[in-house]
Amino acid sequence: MIYDPNPVAFWLLAAMVAGCALAVVRARKLFHAGLALVGTLFAVAGLYGLLQVWFLAAVQVLVYAGAIAIMLLFAIMLTHHMMTPDLKSLTTQPWTAAALCLMLLAILLGATLTSTWQTAPDTTLSPTWTPKSGFQVAEAVPSIKALGFRLLDPFTLPFEMVSVLILVSMIGALVVARKNPALPKAPEGREEEAP
């Protein structure tokens, strides 16, 4: 049978997602926008839960709401007096952007809603593997175990690449974000090619 989520929960969460997202893009105070983002992220996590993808819901809360949002909040605090809307006007080109976004929405909706999707009865979730029984198509809900094997078998390379990605972005970010250092005294012998 096709999976059937609870409509009430969906609409509630959907409203929360849309509302919080609207707050993110329209809030007058940046701090509120940040909080609204956290709200959105939680609501999305809720939707994952509604879809029974619990692992991702947890990741969403831990990594996204817990880490990324907090980092952004720190950035807000580093660059702002916290609660003050310090810009002369909050927005630029609001109407053009709104028109564009509506067109974009129309296209996205149009394309997705006229397509037929290959949905299938909820029996063929990706197989799991146990040492005893080998591959099995058993669980209706994508399990963490299945996910882990999937990450290890075909997606090994991107998995490793993501670690490199995070490493390099941290190296670079550290350099760029660091305070202006007083230019270090050049060690001897480094000046030979200076103009």
Partner 1 sequence: MHEQVAAAALEGAAANVWLVPLLPFLAFLIISFLTRPWGRVSAAVSILALTGSLGVSAQVFWQRFTQDAPPMQVAVPWITLAPDHPLGTIELGLLVDNLSAMMLLMVCFVGLCIQIYSTAYIQTEIAHFPTQGSASMSRFFGWMSLFTFSMLGLVLSHNLLEIYIFWELVGLCSYLLIGFWYFKHSAAEAGKKAFVVTRFGDLGFLMGILMLGVALKGFDFLGLSQKFTQGIPEGLTAGFVALAAVLIFCGAIGKSAQFPLHVWLPDAMEGPTPVSALIHAATMVAAGVYLVARLFPVFHPAGHAGEAALLVAWIGGITAFLAATIAVVQNDIKRVLAYSTISQLGFMMAGLGVGAYTAGSFHLITHAFFKSLLFLGSGAVIVACHSNDLWRMGGLRRHMPFTWFAFLMGCLALAGVPPLAGFWSKDEILGYVYAAPGGMALFLVLTFSAFLTAFYVTRMYFLAFEGPYRGAEKAPADLAGPVPPLSLPAPFPTSQALDVAPEWTEEMATSSQEDLPAACRGAGMEHVPHGLHAPKEVSPWMWGPLLVLALFAVFLGFAGVPTGVGLGLPNFFEGFIHLSGEGHPHEFHWTPMLLSVVVALAGIALGAGLFAGNPERGERRLRSGLRLVWPFLQQKWYLDHLWARALAGTMYAGALTMAWIEANLVDRAVFGLAGSVRSWGDWLRSEHTGKVQHYALMLLLALVLLAVGIGMVEPGFFTSRQFVINLLEGGR
Partner 2 sequence: MTNALTMLQALAPEVVVAATAFLVMGLDLRRNPNPRAQATVAIWGLLAGALATVPDWLDTAASNSALTLWGGIFVADPLSVVFRALACLTGALVLLFSIDPIDTERRNPGDFVTLVPFVVLGLMLAVSAGELLTFFVAFEIVSLPLYLMAAWNRNERGSAEAGMKYFITGSVSSAVMLYGISLVFGTVGTTFFSQIATRYETLADPPQAFVLGSLMILAALGFKIAAAPFHIWAPDVYQGAPRPSAMFISTAPKAAMVAVMLRLFWGTLALQGRDFRLAETWMVLLAVMAILSMFWGNLVALAQTDIRRLMACSGIAHIGYTLLGVLAASRAGAELEGAAAAIYYVVVYSFANLAAWGVIVLVGWRTGSDRIQDYSGLARRSPFLAFALLISLLSLAGAPPLAGFLGKFYLFRALWEAQPAWWWMVLIAIVNSVISLYYYFGILKPVYFGAPQDQTSALVVPWRFRAGLLICLAVIMVLGLFPELTRITLEAGAAILAQPGAP
Partner 3 sequence: MSPIGLNHFLALGAVLFCLGTYGVLTRRNAIAVLLSLELMFNAVNLNLVAFARFMPNLDGVVLAVFVIAVAAAEATVGVALVLSIYRNFRHIDLDQVDTMKG
d(CA 129, CA 145) in angstroms, rounded, equals 8
Which residues ranging from 63 to 102 are in contact with partner 1 (CB under 8 A)? 92-93, 96-97, 100
8 and 42 Cβ atoms separated by less than 8 Å: no
Which residues ranging from 14 to 43 are in contact with partner 3 (CB under 8 A)? 14, 17-18, 21-22, 24-25, 30, 33-34, 37, 40-41
Which residues ranging from 105 to 124 are in contact with partner 3 (CB under 8 A)? 105, 108-109, 112-113, 117-120, 122, 124
Which of partner 1, partner 3, partner 2, none lies near 138, with the C-beta cut-off 5 to 8 A by kind? none
Amino acid at 17: V
Residue 18 lies near partner 1 (rule: CB under 8 A): no
Q: Which residue has the tokens 């997705």?
A: 112
Q: What are phi and psi for residue 11, nearest 5 degrees?
A: -65, -35
Residue 169 lies near partner 3 (rule: CB under 8 A): yes
125: its two tokens = 């979730």
Nearest approach, Cβ of 120 to partner 2 (angstroms)?
A: 9
Of residues 119 and 123, the one with the C-beta less far from partner 1:
119
183: its two tokens = 């230019």
d(CA 99, CA 92) in angstroms, rounded, equals 13
